[in-house]
Structure 1
């Protein structure tokens, strides 16, 4: 066992260290998302509508008609070179795609690496590196950089190091919280995604119109500082058998289980007493492939909104970059309620796939309504942002948290908790493929009209719905394929049904 962080000894006043870990991991991953959001806010500043009342074929033609004016940092009337050209949507899409593609590829490796390294050190290193590369993008403003590849390489590097975050925090929270009410607990905990997006939007929007470089530098500093906090305070699992430094963190009832945990580790059933699961071994866990595909389509929709919503609001509502960035946070506010609602419903029904399917079924027509209603005025846009955020982010939040934790501790693993990080990485890595495809497709399709982008999102939502239906069919089929279990449960059939109705639950 690794030594407990010395700074954690100052938290002995916390009644339950579990609550502290919940809050700490919440803030750690919120800072990751805080650093991802600025690029979507700054897009409206990197390319601005040219200061002309007449439509011109290109910026060069426009520049030839005006007197040359000296501008700071070589800024043009159309934005920041090289994003001031007519193909700006493709160039901005390339920034999104470079980050998300690197994130998707790195995620598959990150889970395997994370199983073999201490979570605290692994996560700390990733956060420090992420802070560096996030700030690096903003330094392009201060050092007058206009090379497209500089910004693309900063995005690729940041995408790779940010893969250290999700498998680490999910493994840590999974080690501290059991399956009881996991959907609700992780639904609340997963709101860190939306909280991080909201804070990132507000911070980036504060400087976007005056000094957009700070929109990246400040979030980068915040991520790095949180990395130091992680190193000082993070404890990756609930019990540390035989370690006297942790005794003051446990309640009397928890201390009584230390000896039992010690014997568990001695028999090779603890996290450090078993070998890490292989990539193929994790794929064989029932439901991993299916939920990974479902997340692929769900995350495609969510991340298209994440990276393109401010620009869409700018074009449709004709707002400046700051106001559009502030307004886009409502989508994440809706996502907070959607994630909590999905977790609560899945706990009551005890059916994760059915919960995802219901929300996805409602999300498809909502996306169609969003594309039509958002053009009717600012008030209608506000309402649709809240509803769409809840229905789009609800299934995404449920799969990446409670479902990943359930599958990572599946009974087929026979107590090998070291699979949790690998399973989480596989599911989120596959989802990140969709996250990379969504903004890329949006950049390619949007020149033909924003309505076509929404049609693409509705198709992706329908695909996620079909996969969730297949998962539910698999669950029903697995019950029907066990006649011995049916015979054993038959004598208790009526009492089970009565109990379920008494508690408002419906189960086979």
Structure 2
């Protein structure tokens, strides 16, 4: 019997090694995980511009929704709502900033699967609670501040965990290429958050928070079911951790160790051994500060985040107010 040629799809599958498929899975999974984190942060900036609209300024408000009071829903029933909304933002950002100091410590000492699952589940709960304030008719500032404080703390679980997981799988090889593609999750998450929040912002803004909250909680469950912390856990080749040639993801462990100079093979080579079960020792906060470039990079990120979060939380409200002035 004549043998038929291999199906094109199967041929394509065989082009990539088993290690490559697992690394692709981890890259995609961590990308979706942090996309959900940013998606759940975005609704506040979209909804903020709609919370205090005056129905008398809108012709035929019934054309927007079936409710005639939707644009008079004031969360705190006070005239200084902009300052109060700024206080809600500050509650989230201060909690997020302080939580990041300890989140990395816990992230290196706990199982990443459990850590991410608990953090994403809590983020989903507190994001949804903010939206439930609409349905529960809660107008007290303290409720939203407390929710944002806990949400900010829960959100700190994302970045240290996904970066650690990416480091475990990809090491130093091709890190510029990998991080360049992977780091687009921030923009994708913000875009999705804006689109989802925009669907219900004119009718029932509580859903603008509840839906992203449910999505991030479900993604947390998916990460718990499928996230693999170390290549060794599924008998994959660990990445090279030394400053050698460009990493070949399909290279065997023996060839990797063989290319390391003899004086280094006793340290770094043992870390790359597939049979090794030792986990890298967690570094302390003070030791991390002594790493060259950490302080400088932190200061650069400080000012970059200052600009990005200003736009993230306040740009939609600014655009709406400028549009009113121009009219």
TM bracket (short chain): 0.7 to 0.9
Q: CA RMSD in A?
A: 3.3
Question: What is the CA–CA distance in structure 2 between the aligned matches of 1:302 and 1:262, rounded to whole Å?
Answer: 38
**How do residues 193-272 of structure 1 correspond to structure 2 at under 5 angstroms?**
193-237=186-230, 239-240=231-232, 245-246=234-235, 253-254=251-252, 256=254, 264-265=270-271, 272=278
**Local SS of the residue matching 1:286:** coil
TM-score by length of 2: 0.78
Residue of 42, 45, 58 corresponding to 1:37: 42
Query: Contact 2:169/2:238 (CA < 8 Å) preserved in 1?
Result: no
Alignment gaps of 5+ in structure 2: 1-16, 59-65, 240-248, 259-266
What is the Cα deviation at residue 14 of structure 1?
A: 8.5
What is the Cα deviation at residue 316 of structure 1?
A: 1.6
What is the Cα deviation at residue 76 of structure 1?
A: 7.5
**How do residues 54-453 of structure 1 correspond to structure 2 at under 5 angstroms?**
78-82=72-76, 85-237=78-230, 239-240=231-232, 245-246=234-235, 253-254=251-252, 256=254, 264-265=270-271, 272-318=278-324
Query: Contact 1:247/1:255 (CA < 8 Å) preserved in 2?
Result: no
What is the Cα deviation at residue 294 of structure 1?
A: 1.3
Question: What is the CA–CA distance in structure 2 between the aligned matches of 1:288 and 1:266, rounded to whole Å?
Answer: 25
Which is bigger in relative contact order (C-alpha 8 A, separation at least 6)? Answer: 2
Query: Contact 2:238/2:272 (CA < 8 Å) preserved in 1?
Result: no
Query: Contact 1:30/1:192 (CA < 8 Å) preserved in 2?
Result: yes
What is the Cα deviation at residue 78 of structure 1?
A: 4.0
Q: Deviations over 1:216-264 (max 9, x none)?
A: 1100000000001101111123x31xx5x43599986346569999972
What is the Cα deviation at residue 101 of structure 1?
A: 0.4
- 1:211/1:259 CA distance change after superposition, 3 Å: same
Question: What is the CA–CA distance in structure 2 between the aligned matches of 1:101 and 1:107, rounded to whole Å?
Answer: 10
Question: What is the CA–CA distance in structure 1 between the aligned matches of 2:51 and 2:116, rounded to whole Å?
Answer: 32
Q: Deviations over 1:344-400 (max 9, x none)?
A: xxxxxxxxxxxxxxxxxxxxxxxxxxxxxxx8x9xxxxxxxxxxxxxxxxxxxxxxx
Q: Deviations over 1:400-459 (max 9, x none)?
A: xxxxxxxxxxxxxxxxxxxxxxxxxxxxxxxxxxxxxxxxxxxxxxxxxxxxxxxxxxxx
Q: Deviations over 1:294-332 (max 9, x none)?
A: 11111100100000011011112349xxxxxxxxxxxxx
Question: What is the CA–CA distance in structure 2 between the aligned matches of 1:109 and 1:272, rounded to whole Å?
Answer: 24
Question: What is the CA–CA distance in structure 2 between the aligned matches of 1:51 and 1:246, rounded to whole Å?
Answer: 66
Query: Contact 1:51/1:78 (CA < 8 Å) preserved in 2?
Result: no
Query: Contact 1:99/1:159 (CA < 8 Å) preserved in 2?
Result: yes
- 1:45/1:225 CA distance change after superposition, 3 Å: same
- 1:315/1:177 CA distance change after superposition, 3 Å: same
What is the Cα deviation at residue 49 of structure 1?
A: 3.9
Question: What is the CA–CA distance in structure 2 between the aligned matches of 1:130 and 1:119, rounded to whole Å?
Answer: 16
Query: Contact 1:27/1:192 (CA < 8 Å) preserved in 2?
Result: yes
Query: Contact 2:237/2:251 (CA < 8 Å) preserved in 1?
Result: no
Alignment gaps of 5+ in structure 1: 1-11, 54-70, 320-374, 378-508
Question: What is the CA–CA distance in structure 2 between the aligned matches of 1:144 and 1:265, rounded to whole Å?
Answer: 56
Query: Contact 2:119/2:157 (CA < 8 Å) preserved in 1?
Result: yes
Query: Contact 1:51/1:77 (CA < 8 Å) preserved in 2?
Result: no
More helix as a share of residues: 1
Query: Contact 1:16/1:249 (CA < 8 Å) preserved in 2?
Result: no
Query: Contact 1:266/1:273 (CA < 8 Å) preserved in 2?
Result: no
Question: What is the CA–CA distance in structure 2 between the aligned matches of 1:254 and 1:13, rounded to whole Å?
Answer: 12
- 1:51/1:257 CA distance change after superposition, 3 Å: farther
Question: What is the CA–CA distance in structure 1 between the aligned matches of 2:70 and 2:124, rounded to whole Å?
Answer: 29
Question: What is the CA–CA distance in structure 1 between the aligned matches of 2:237 and 2:296, rounded to whole Å?
Answer: 43
Question: What is the CA–CA distance in structure 1 between the aligned matches of 2:18 and 2:99, rounded to whole Å?
Answer: 39
